[in-house]
Amino acid sequence: MLDITPAKKLTATIDGLYKTFGEGFETAPTETLDLTFEGISGDRHAGLTRGSGGREPWYPRGTEVRNERQITILSPGDLAATAAGMEIDRVAPEWIGGNILMSGVANLSFLPAGTLMYFDGGVTLAVQAMNGPCRFSGASIAKHYPDREGLDLLFPKVAKRLRGLLAWVEKPGTLRVGEVAKVAIPEQWIYA
Amino acid sequence: MLDITPAKKLTATIDGLYKTFGEGFETAPTETLDLTFEGISGDRHAGLTRGSGGREPWYPRGTEVRNERQITILSPGDLAATAAGMEIDRVAPEWIGGNILMSGVANLSFLPAGTLMYFDGGVTLAVQAMNGPCRFSGASIAKHYPDREGLDLLFPKVAKRLRGLLAWVEKPGTLRVGEVAKVAIPEQWIYA
């Protein structure tokens, strides 16, 4: 039997915006983010295409594929749950390369692919996938807790399904801190 | 409680390939399809961006958005169910603008956004959304049954969740009739 769950609408608010400045994995706060079809202008993850990486072992590394991983979206709730699981005070969005900190949606990391976020200022983002936590992000967190050992490898275990979302730009424009978005989840379904 | 269903892998086969030649909505058979990051070379739906349409009333018509609707994928099973529901002999993939006819996956139209299709020849397609049946496709079918009235409006009712998938090119290359694809469904989840 096929049971259809109707689409749901939620609302979220931008608590913080961050981008990379120059080299390096970490991001730094910014009041606005300018988005094109390539992603965040001047950011290291911008581009219409990207080279494939270690998470895609079915491609030779560096294979040119469409870039659907332009933007990293995190939530305060998921970050707090990650910090609690790692028994540390906090995980800052910047440490793990976050671009948008969004509050108001519980279990943000579980928003499915195809979810659309319509921001009041005119930007639309499309969710491509839940992000996967890696030891490089873990190492970035570990740098802030020099008295603790093994945080780099603890992060991938603890942050599974708490690592936020990867998204791409459906409609370009500028995001601002404090801006609100309507979040439209696509029709989901259950085989039972 | 949160129950996690693991990702599943399926296999599908290309039964037919089709593209638009010149003007018009309908497609015509072809032995191969050349794909770039823009979609099908020379096809009317090719492009890195597209103008928004009537299905997106939240945008002024013609708003430039990223083109995630490059390719239409149909299945023999869904087309047969549509024909049965409309009480006609058949619905040909060409009549409703199909580009790829894929067999081997039951309920193809239900493959969720984020599903990846890895073709043996090296192409990867990413599923963006279930397609929605419209009266323009219905009118195209109706032309082939001049003795029947109202088929144009019957199609959107009957073909709901049978209209196939919209997909975009993650990795370019050439598709060939008879080629096989591994179909990887993303992790799904159920709030219960």
What value does the mean pLDDT of chain A take?
A: 92
Assess: ipTM above 0.90.
no
Whether the CB-CB separation of B186 and B10 falls below 8 Å is answered with: no
Question: Rounded distance, CA B109 to CA B77, Å?
Answer: 10
Question: Rounded distance, CA A153 to CA B59, Å?
Answer: 45
Residue A55: what pLDDT?
A: 84
Using a CB-CB cut-off of 8 Å, the residues of chain B touching A120 are: none
Residue A34: what pLDDT?
A: 97
Average pLDDT (A84-103) is: 98
Residue A24: what pLDDT?
A: 82
CB contact under 8 A, A130 and B169: no
CATH superfamily to which B2-191 belongs: PK beta-barrel domain-like (2.40.33.20)
CB contact under 8 A, A65 and B190: no
Residue among A37, A68, A113 minimizing CB distance to B49: A37
Whether the CB-CB separation of B178 and B17 falls below 8 Å is answered with: no
Q: Is B189 on the interface with A (CB under 8 A)?
A: yes
In chain B, the percentage of residues whose pLDDT exceeds 70 is 93
Average pLDDT (A103-111) is: 94
Average pLDDT (B162-183) is: 97
Give pLDDT tens digits for B151-167.
999 999 999 999 999 99
Q: Is B114 on the interface with A (CB under 8 A)?
A: yes
CB contact under 8 A, B113 and A113: yes
Using a CB-CB cut-off of 8 Å, the residues of chain B touching A187 are: 130
Residue B8: what pLDDT?
A: 59
Q: b/e for A12-33, b at 16 or more Cβ within 10 A?
A: bebbbbbbbeeeeebbeebeeb
Question: Rounded distance, CA A119 to CA A17, Å?
Answer: 14
Residue B105: what pLDDT?
A: 95
Residue B102: what pLDDT?
A: 98
- Residue A188: pLDDT band with limits 50, 70, 90: low
Residue A189: what pLDDT?
A: 55
- Residue A1: pLDDT band with limits 50, 70, 90: very low
